[in-house]
Amino acid sequence: MLDNLQLLFVYAPVMNVQMLLDGIFIGAVFALAAYGLALVWGVMNVKNLAQGDFVIMGGYIAFTAHNLGIHPIFALPFIAIVMFLYGLVVYQLVIKRVIDNDMFVSLLATFGLSLFMQQVMNLIYGPEVQTVDSHMYIMTMFDDFVTVPTVKIVSLALAAVFATAIVIFMTRSRMGQAIRATAQDARAARVLGIDTNKVYMFTFALNSAICGIAGVLVSMIWVLQPFYGIVYSLRTFAIVTAAGLGNLPGVITMSFILGWVEQYAGIIAGAEWQIAAAVFVLIGVLSWRQVQMRRQRQVVR
């Protein structure tokens, strides 16, 4: 551990450039998925444990497109639409019936959904690790030491574009305003004539589409496997819990922080701690929130 620190800060400080960059690229993808979670959590109080599986599913659709000879980036709008429709179906069959229930119910129902999605993807694509080749140039800096694949920059840009688009959509469009109104007070929104059921449906489908986009980026940057979803779910929960609901800048910041924490944990403590790091962040955030609330004579709810 000490030698790793030495390496990082004394012998090869240029490593930090690579890691900070990677942290941002990873964080951008996390941010998309986490924002989707914050949306469904905030608007309809559904804690979607299948969030990561939606991401992986988007990745697999990109993989299919890739196999058909379509570059995932060109297939992106199509994938978003497919995921949007899938979100609608899931909403009608499952989510609709758990919204007004005990909060734990949504957690368990989406866990069942997660199991189901994993297994169907496993049946279709097999458990092998799959990858999508973006065929993009890999840039290098510092005498080949730092490598920046163009695809990661494109991903970051795409994530930024989509985040901006979502913000504009939320503030300008009628549906976006209805979503925000429902998030603040569903009953009042209903009184004002907003069809909250439609808002919920749209929100969940939108989340599904956002996850799908994140999945496309994942497929081009890392690898896909039917069972990797749960790790992404845990990360999004850590981010949203820390950032709070309906707080896009917070979500983005936290996503970058988590990306960096994972990178540095992998280097300093060793790769075996990389996944644990995300979980520790989650537990740490929850503990810290409890201390904070204790000072307010309250509990975390």
Partner 1 sequence: MAQNVIEVKKVSKSFGGVKANVDITMAVRKGSITGIIGPNGCGKSTLFNSIVGYHPIDTGSIKFEGQEISHLRVGDIARLGMLRTFQQTRIYTKMDCVDNMQISVSQRPGSNSTMFASRKGEIRERAEHLLEFVGLYSKRNLISGDLSFGQQKLLEFAMALMNEPKVLLLDEPTAGINPTLINGLINRLQRANEELGITLCVIEHNMRVIMNLASHIYCLSNGKMLADGKPEKLQNDPRVVDAYLGGH
Partner 2 sequence: MNEKLIYIGLAVFGILGPIAFPDYIMQFAVLWIMVIMATTWDITGGQMGYNSLGNITFFGVGMYVSASIQVSMFYDLGAFTASYGAIKPVFTESQYYTGLALGVFFGGVACSVLSLLLGLAVFGLRGPYFAIGTLGVAVAAREIAGTIEVIGAGAGIAMPFLPLPIEYRSAFFYVLCFIIAVIAHFVIRWLFKTQFGLAANAIRDDEDKAEAMGIPTLRYKQVGWAIAAFFMGCTGAVFGNMVGYIEPLEVAFPVATFGIFMVAMSLLGGKGTLWGPVLGAILFHVVKEATWTYLLGLQWVVLGLILIVNIVYFQQGIMGWLQAKYPERFGIAVDESTSASKGEA
Partner 3 sequence: MYKKYSIAAGAALAVGLAGMVAPAVAKVEGDTIVIGSSLSLTGKYSTNGFHTQKGYDFAVKRINDTGGVKVGGKSYKLKVVYYDDESTPSRASQLTERLVKQDGVDYMLGPYSTTMTKAVAPVTEKYKVPMVEAEGASRSLFTQGYKYMFAVLSTSEYYLAPVLDLIAQRAKAGWKSPSDLRIGMAFENDGFSLDVRAGVLDVAKKYGMKIVIDDKLPADLSDMSATLTKFKALKPDILLVSGHSKGAATAARQIEEMKINASAISITHCEAAKVHVKFPKSANGILCPTQWLTNLPNSEPIFGDAQKYDADFKKAYPEYNTGIPYQTAQASAAVLVFKDAFERANSFDRDKVRDALSATDMNTFYGPIKFSEAGNNIAKPMFYRQIQADGSYKNIVSHEDMTLPRKVSY
Residues in the site for partner 2, rule: CB under 8 A? 47, 94, 97-98, 101-109, 111-120, 122-123, 230, 234, 237, 241, 270, 272-273, 275-276, 279-280, 282-283, 286-287, 290, 293-294, 299-301
User: What are the φ/ψ torsions at residue 139 (nearest 5 degrees)?
Assistant: -85, 150
State the minimum distance, in angstroms, from the CB of residue 285 to partner 1: 22
| Nearest residue (CB) to partner 1, 164 versus 292 | 292
Q: Which of 207, 263, 282, 285 binds partner 3 (CB under 8 A)?
A: 263
- Residues of this chain that bind partner 1 (CB under 8 A): 294-298
Name residue 144's amino acid. Answer: D
How many CB atoms sit inside 10 A of residue 97's CB? 13
Min. distance of Cβ 163 from partner 3 in angstroms? 22
**Structure tokens belonging to residue 75:** 């297939």
User: Token digits for 24?
Assistant: 């941002």
Give the count of beta carbons closer than 10 Å to the beta carbon of residue 68.
8
Alpha-helical (H) ranges within 68-195 are: 72-90, 96-98, 103-125, 150-172, 174-184, 186-191
Helix (H) or strand (E) segment spanning residue 89: helix 72-90
Q: Do residues 27 and 257 touch, judged by C-beta distance below 8 A?
A: yes
Give 1 or 299: the residue with its C-beta nearer to partner 1: 299
Under the rule (CB under 8 A), what is the footprint of partner 3?
4, 7, 11-12, 14-15, 18-19, 22, 26, 119, 122, 126-129, 131, 133, 138, 140, 144-145, 147, 149, 222-223, 225, 227-228, 230-231, 262-263, 265-267, 270-272, 274-276
